[in-house]
Amino acid sequence: MDEFLMKKIMVSQETEVNGLPNLIPVVIFLNVLKKKVKEIAASPEDFVGKLWNYLKRVIIKVLM
């Protein structure tokens, strides 16, 4: 999360130096946020898949 905030601060400072309107930092912030959410959203699905595979292996070993 710290890296995310630092990227936001750096981008905001760069746009202020260039004299760009305040709308651009908001758009950049939303794009960076969207990327982070997509990265995080994949984690639970991967975890559940790995857990399910582990449980299947254990159950098969116990039943055999």
pLDDT tens-digit map of 9-36: 777 666 655 555 555 677 777 888 888 8
- 13 closest CA partner among 29, 34, 37: 29
Q: What is the pLDDT of residue 51?
A: 92
Query: Does the structure show a pLDDT above 70 at 47?
Result: yes
Q: What's the rounded Cα separation, in Å, for the pair 41 and 52?
A: 18
Average pLDDT, the chain: 78
- pLDDT at site 21: 59
Cα separation, 57 vs 64, in Å, equals 11
Displacement of CA 61 from its chain's centroid (Å) = 36
Q: What is the pLDDT of residue 57?
A: 93
